[in-house]
Amino acid sequence: MRNEPFRRVLVTGGAGYIGSHMVLLLAQSGYEVTVVDDCSCGHRAAIEAVQRAVPEASIHFEECSLHDVARIGGLLAARRIYAVIHFAARASIAESFVLREAYWKNNHDGTLALLAAMRAAAVRRLIFSSTCATYGVATNASLPIAESCAQQPVNPYGESKLAAERAITAHHRAALAETSAFSYATLRYFNVVGSDPLGRIGEAHDPEHHLVPSCLLAALGRRGPVEIFGSDYPTEDGTCIRDYVDVHDVCTAHLAALNRLNESAAFIFNIGSGRGTSVREVVAACGRVAARAIPTLPAPRRAGDPPILIADAAEISRVWGWTPATVRLDESIANVWRWLSAHPNGYATIRRES
């Protein structure tokens, strides 16, 4: 099975949180996986953990930058890659206000460099990891948010990802005009949560900026109280509402895309659960799973935080038959708790143990 051309996949950002879970799923599904990551945010140890988990899998790791077009192009050709799954990006809304140029260079310019390398190597299938941050502030009339909603991002992170989306769409149109094949799927995630149920890989940011692991690290005494950024939003309890989707479900959506990218397809889908959960509700859920109180502190609103983001994911269900398998947020949180309880220092814990 591995010798079939469509089984050869390159994953950018594959040593990161979502990327490493994608590599695990691909390896378990019999794909030959090439991972590209500059390890500025990702962890080589995550790929090593996947290799231990699936020792029979073909996983090749290259530590390099997407901006090295010649090296990426050579790798695509040498590995005879069929499709690329593009996760590599900076992804913190708060950080994006401080590092605007870095976000643009990594998220937009890095995508342009990848497209150039793919063109040079005649690789014609791309699955792009995008974000609901491209939508901006939704009105009540546009909730839940469908793919047709206006894209008006309110933070540099969302702006950089929207620009990358547009670059991919332009690349597709140019390929059609030249009668050359190029297909893509853009998947706009809402809030990704969860971890490998067996605790082999997980989320490890430094500093951690996602709510669920932050709460659980606070429960473990590994950090101070969790800040609640704003309690005066137009929601029932005054805190932001988000749509949480399990990381494994995000990965199965990519697997569905791999099976459906023909020579000229262009798909844009939301990836979410369709359910909204407030910040305070997430904190309470983390407390239930950890069986201990989560210390919190009130804090001012953060710039660029929309009050409510809930996905309308009906279109991907209609077209591809994809729906989230994990329906209970507590189940996703329990997997994160399992990972963090065993690895409170993330992959540094694994390095010390090995």
Q: CA–CA separation, 298 vs 26, rounded Å?
A: 41
Tokens (6 digits) for 117? 């390398």
Residues annotated catalytic, as ranges: 157
Which residue, among 64, 53, 69, 58, has the nearest Cα to 9 in the 3D structure?
58
The residues, ordered by sequence, that sit 6+ positions from 5 with a Cβ below 8 Å of its Cβ are 80, 82
Angle between helices 17-28 and 247-258 (to 10 degrees): 60
CA 134 to chain centre: 14
* Span between the terminal Cα atoms of the chain, in Å: 32
Query: What's 70's DSSP letter?
Result: H
Tell me the pLDDT of the chain (354 aa) as tens digits: 445 667 899 999 999 999 999 999 999 999 999 999 999 999 999 999 999 999 999 999 999 999 999 999 999 999 999 999 999 999 999 999 999 999 999 999 999 999 999 999 999 999 999 999 999 998 887 899 999 999 999 999 999 999 999 999 999 999 988 877 899 999 999 999 999 999 999 999 888 999 999 999 999 999 999 999 999 999 999 999 999 999 999 999 999 999 999 878 999 999 999 999 999 999 999 999 999 999 999 999 999 999 999 999 999 999 999 999 999 999 999 999 999 999 988 898 654 444
Q: Which domains does the chain have, with CATH numbers?
A: 5-353 (3.40.50.720)
Within 10 Å of residue 6's Cβ, how many Cβ atoms?
A: 12
Q: What pTM does this model have?
A: 0.95
Which residue, among 60, 113, 105, has the nearest Cα to 86 in the 3D structure?
113
pLDDT tens-place string over residues 148-194 = 999 999 999 999 999 999 999 999 999 988 877 899 999 999 999 99
DSSP secondary structure of 327-346: --HHHHHHHHHHHHHH-TTT
Within 10 Å of residue 55's Cβ, how many Cβ atoms?
A: 9
H or E, element range at 37: strand 32-37
